[in-house]
Amino acid sequence: MNKAVIAIHGGAGAITRAQLSPEKERLYIKALSGIVEAGQALLADGGSALDAVTEAVRLLEECPLFNAGIGAVFTHDGTHELDACVMDGNTLEAGAVAGVSHIRNPILAARHVLESSPHVLLIGQGAENFAAQHGLEPVTPEIFFTQARWDQLERARENQQTVLDHDGAEPIDPDTKFGTVGAVALDQYGNLAAATSTGGMTNKLAGRVGDSPIIGAGCYANNANVAVSCTGTGEVFMKTLAAYDIAALMEYAGLSLHQATERVVMEKLPALQGSGGVIAIDNQGNVALPFNSEGMYRGYGYVGDAPSVGIYHSQEH
């Protein structure tokens, strides 16, 4: 029997510490802690790693503090296009959706793709039709709207910028933040799983897809070594296959979890001007949460322990 553990993230970036009020910080810490606790409870009851990461990401999608699902950012056209992926480390089965606008919880659609389709990735209308056929009631895109995100789009349009989600001066509604959420887990049976979901980048071109729904780029899990979920400069994570690269460094180069994640996050990504971080759990239950940006919303917890959550370096609550 393994000591089950779950880790989550709510995006990375240069969240300026001076601008983060104690009240706002408490909101984030409370949200992260509650979601870690929900994952711990599921694992404690004998739940699978796959179920734990799916539920954790669903809860992150429901929280407007984060850029996934409700509270997602807008494209240049003023629309929402959401992406999500989930992978089972035991079977290497995976499911993903991209460019969807009428699915409240894209991670649930991704889970249906994993379980009920011969495919790995469905996009756009086809993904929405598939989700509806499997019991996910379509929603209007207005459900994702928040005034803060709309204001963010208007500022980005004025500045002619395509911006990521946590790099600005304002932490809850930052103008440039890596707006991805994710979860990784190891269950008591020794199985790993990973899940990632995103609203993308503010003012991105309609039709842009980043690393989040791409197996090996933004999400990867394999019982042989590790489960990984990424947040950062999506195009660079795609070019480097960042999530799979961590697994490959462990498998072929014999690196430890810490060594592999440090190599990718602190050396390989910055070499291509890539910023962000990863959360990762290996098949022995070790946890790594490295990031090369100023901060990353993150948390983890072993079953039976209190959650450990943080935003900045050397900070765990």
What Å distances lie between residue 62 and 55, 173, 197, 215, 303, CA to CA?
Answer: 11, 16, 11, 23, 23
5 touches 37 (CB < 8 A)? no
Question: What are the catalytic residues?
Answer: 180
Residue (of 218, 236, 190, 212) closest to 280 by Cα position: 218
92 touches 222 (CB < 8 A)? yes
Number of CB atoms found within 10 A of residue 153's CB? 19
Strand 192-198 with 295-302, pairing: unpaired
Phi-psi category of 123—alpha, beta or left, where left has phi over 0 and alpha has psi -120 to 50? Answer: beta
